């Protein structure tokens, strides 16, 4: 076991006035299974890159251990190469037999190593990379969001595999994965960084208790400050009024007052002024104790949505539905049956490549909705009845088309710019992001742009395709709360198990490449 000591770590990207990380200090052990938690844009991936020595920084990272990083870089020219040929570049010090041992633990067929990389599914690519990553010993591994775009089966395999390992940092927004795998968490809070034993749920339970205590303490201090200010103001006014009586008096009204009373009044005023000063010192102490209490509280704002109510109960009816693509010898699936009724939240589930996103595109193709790729050789057979006259709000799983400014995007989408930016603020967008081009956003921030636009579009049906990829845990909980409160009619593709359990009214499973009974 070794330690990694981080002291006074500060980093900002070239041309940026804002520090991504500032004066960061923490210690971690290299045999931990560490979950790295934080909002989108807080610097999780940046921290991993700093461990890898990819950027210059101020401060110190002290350790005797070596690092390796997932995912490995795959260039366009690599896609035609066999996976086995990429290992030499990814991790030249290992032997193939070491990779094969890990592939067996990951329940993979060794023949995957001898296929062109482009023919591997997302899940197969991820598992090959993890097998290479863990093939060597005595390294501390940096694993950045391994389950994005993966189906439930692949996620379960990776979860089981990582549970049996140790000595890594895992960046993930999948609460189920973090709970199953991690024994410690490193949390990038709003203003501080903390290291804590336990998994995500343990940390979140402790955080809720801590936040509640700090909010109560804050309220107590605010009340005490209010009382002290009132008392100080009252004493100050009394002192001023008393001081004003030193000079001059009415001999008729104050016939018993002598010139000697002046010194008595002065002493009384001085005593009152001392009391005012004491109040001010106590106020300063109360303010000092109050400072920092709320700095790390996650203020998860309530989002809003305005779903439209459609006049028909059944919005979508699929019966004996089959989908395929031109040039393909066999369909994606056959004989699929499901309905989407008003107020339901239907989740499509199945392995990668089984046709979940194609179902969404087939529905869009049946409407006036215009979406990139919706008509790209998709063949529909069987019955797919989509109610006419519906307004649909769509979130694409692809964000690569986002470019330019938020202002221009809101104009193109017909959104109220002020409301659009306000929703992004509620999703924890910093104001400094508003002046950047979207191509400079993180993947999580790009997804939030699409979700914010969808929330501002009143619709009868919300079709979301893997909306939570790259989205941080706190925003996921915001979105869950929104859906449960407003109960919009939705058709979703999403692999987050916790999300499925919380918001789904029904889950439709699509077996791949087979006729359905």
Has residue 98 been placed in a domain?
yes
Q: Are 356 and 333 in contact (CB under 8 A)?
A: no
Has residue 122 been placed in a domain?
yes
- pLDDT score of 249: 52
Report angle CA 91, 96, 99 to the nearest 5 degrees. 75
Give the residues across from 185 on adjacent strands.
35, 196
Q: Do 497 and 379 belong together in one domain? A: yes
Task: Give the 3-state secondary structure of residue 333.
Answer: strand
- pLDDT score of 143: 97
Has residue 431 been placed in a domain?
yes
- pLDDT score of 57: 93
More confident of the two residues 129 and 215: 129
Q: How many CA atoms lie within 13 A of 516 on its CB side?
A: 20
Q: Do 195 and 211 belong together in one domain? A: no
Has residue 253 been placed in a domain?
yes
Which of 29-33, 182-186, 236-240 has the least mean pLDDT? 236-240
Residue 355, Ramachandran bin (φ over 0: left; ψ between -120 and 50: alpha; else beta): left
CA–CA separation, 385 and 363 (whole Å): 8
Q: Do 174 and 277 belong together in one domain? A: no
Instruction: Please state the rounded mean pLDDT for residues 132-160.
Output: 92
Q: Are 303 and 423 in contact (CB under 8 A)?
A: yes
CA–CA separation, 446 and 23 (whole Å): 28
Q: Which of 157, 176, 200 is the last residue of a domain?
A: 200
Q: What is the DSSP letter of 34?
A: E
Structure tokens at 173: 């927004």
Q: Which of 167, 200, 233 is the last residue of a domain?
A: 200
Q: Do 410 and 377 belong together in one domain? A: yes
Q: Do 158 and 77 belong together in one domain? A: yes
Instruction: Please state the rounded mean pLDDT for residues 193-213.
Output: 89
- pLDDT score of 246: 55
Instruction: Please state the rounded mean pLDDT for residues 409-431.
Output: 91
β strands within 189-286, DSSP E = 193-197
269 is in which domain, residue-wise?
207-290
CA–CA separation, 408 and 411 (whole Å): 5
CA–CA separation, 214 and 294 (whole Å): 7
Report angle CA 10, 14, 15 to the nearest 5 degrees. 120
Question: Residues 137-149: pLDDT tens digits?
Answer: 999 999 999 998 8
Q: Are 140 and 28 in contact (CB under 8 A)?
A: no
More confident of the two residues 331 and 245: 331
CB atoms within 10 A of CB 163: 13
Q: Do 220 and 188 belong together in one domain? A: no
CA–CA separation, 473 and 484 (whole Å): 17
Q: Are 393 and 363 in contact (CB under 8 A)?
A: no
Q: What share of the chain is helix, strand, coil (3-state, %, to 5)?
A: 40, 20, 40
Question: Residues 308-359: pLDDT tens digits?
Answer: 999 999 999 999 999 988 877 788 899 999 999 999 999 999 888 888 999 9
Q: Do 192 and 222 belong together in one domain? A: no
Has residue 126 been placed in a domain?
yes
CATH of the domain at 134: 3.40.50.300
Has residue 308 been placed in a domain?
no
Instruction: Please state the rounded mean pLDDT for residues 231-247.
Output: 63
Question: Percent of the chain having pLDDT more than 90?
Answer: 59
Question: Residues 70-128: pLDDT tens digits?
Answer: 999 999 999 999 999 999 999 999 999 999 999 999 999 999 999 999 888 888 999 99
- pLDDT score of 516: 40
- pLDDT score of 267: 66
Q: Are 4 and 140 in contact (CB under 8 A)?
A: yes
Q: Do 318 and 272 belong together in one domain? A: no
Has residue 303 been placed in a domain?
no
Structure tokens at 95: 């032997």
Instruction: Please state the rounded mean pLDDT for residues 219-224.
Output: 72
Question: Percent of the chain having pLDDT more than 70?
Answer: 83
Whether pLDDT at 433 is above 90: no
How many domains in the chain?
A: 3
- pLDDT score of 261: 59
Question: Residues 448-500: pLDDT tens digits?
Answer: 999 999 999 999 999 999 999 889 888 999 999 999 999 999 999 998 999 99
Q: Do 103 and 144 belong together in one domain? A: yes
Q: Do 189 and 211 belong together in one domain? A: no
Has residue 515 been placed in a domain?
no
- pLDDT score of 85: 94
Q: Nearest CA to 458 among 360, 392, 370, 364?
A: 392
Q: Do 153 and 281 belong together in one domain? A: no
Average pLDDT, the chain: 86
Q: Do 472 and 379 belong together in one domain? A: yes
Cis omega (within 30 of 0) for bond into 157: no
- pLDDT score of 508: 94
């Amino acid at each position: 076991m070794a330690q990694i000591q981080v002291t006074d770590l500060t980093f900002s990207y070239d041309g940026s006035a804002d520090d991504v990380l500032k004066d960061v200090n923490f210690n971690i052990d290299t045999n931990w299974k560490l979950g790295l938690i934080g909002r989108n844009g807080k610097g999780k991936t940046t921290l991993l890159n700093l461990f890898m020595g990819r950027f210059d920084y101020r401060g110190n990272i002290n350790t005797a251990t070596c690092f390796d990083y997932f995912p490995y870089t795959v260039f366009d020219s690599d896609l035609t190469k066999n996976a086995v040929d990429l290992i030499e570049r990814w991790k030249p010090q290992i032997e193939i037999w070491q990779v094969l041992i890990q592939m067996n633990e990951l329940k993979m067929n060794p023949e995957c190593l001898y296929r062109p990389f482009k023919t591997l599914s997302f899940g197969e690519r991820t598992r090959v990379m993890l097998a290479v990553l863990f093939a060597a010993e005595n390294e501390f591994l940096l694993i950045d969001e391994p389950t994005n775009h993966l189906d439930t089966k692949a996620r379960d395999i990776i979860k089981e595999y990582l549970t049996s390992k140790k000595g890594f940092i895992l960046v993930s927004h999948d609460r189920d994965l973090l709970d199953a795998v991690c024994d410690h968490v490193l949390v990038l809070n709003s203003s501080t960084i903390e290291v804590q034993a336990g998994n995500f749920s343990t940390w979140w339970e402790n955080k809720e208790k801590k936040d509640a205590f700090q909010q109560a303490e804050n309220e107590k201090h605010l009340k005490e400050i209010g009382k002290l200010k009132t008392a100080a103001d009252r004493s100050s006014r009394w002192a001023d009024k008393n001081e004003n009586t030193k000079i001059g008096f009415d001999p008729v009204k104050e016939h018993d007052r002598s010139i000697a009373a002046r010194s008595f009044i002065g002493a009384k005023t001085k005593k009152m002024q001392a009391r005012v000063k004491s109040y001010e010192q106590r106020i300063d102490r109360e303010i000092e104790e109050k400072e920092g209490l709320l700095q790390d509280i996650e203020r998860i704002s309530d989002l809003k949505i305005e779903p439209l109510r459609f006049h028909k109960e059944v919005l979508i009816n699929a019966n004996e539905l089959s989908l395929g693509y031109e040039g393909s010898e066999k369909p994606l699936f056959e004989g699929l049956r499901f309905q989407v009724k008003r107020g339901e939240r239907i989740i499509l589930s199945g392995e990668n490549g089984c046709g979940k996103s194609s179902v969404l595109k087939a529905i869009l193709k049946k409407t006036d909705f215009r979406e990139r790729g919706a008509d790209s050789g998709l063949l529909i057979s069987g019955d797919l009845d989509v109610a006419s006259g519906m307004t649909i709000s769509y979130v694409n799983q692809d964000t690569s088309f986002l470019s330019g400014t938020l202002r221009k995007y809101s104009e193109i989408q017909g959104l109220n710019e002020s409301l659009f930016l306000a929703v992004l603020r509620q999703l924890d967008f910093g104001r400094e992001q508003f002046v950047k081009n979207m191509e400079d956003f993180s993947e999580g921030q790009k997804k939030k742009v699409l979700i914010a636009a969808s929330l501002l579009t009143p619709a009868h049906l919300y079709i979301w395709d893997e909306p939570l990829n790259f989205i941080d845990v706190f925003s996921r909980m915001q979105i869950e709360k929104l859906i449960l409160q407003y109960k919009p009619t939705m058709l979703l593709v999403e692999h987050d198990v916790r999300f499925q359990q919380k918001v789904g009214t029904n889950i439709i499973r699509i077996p791949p490449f087979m006729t359905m009974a």
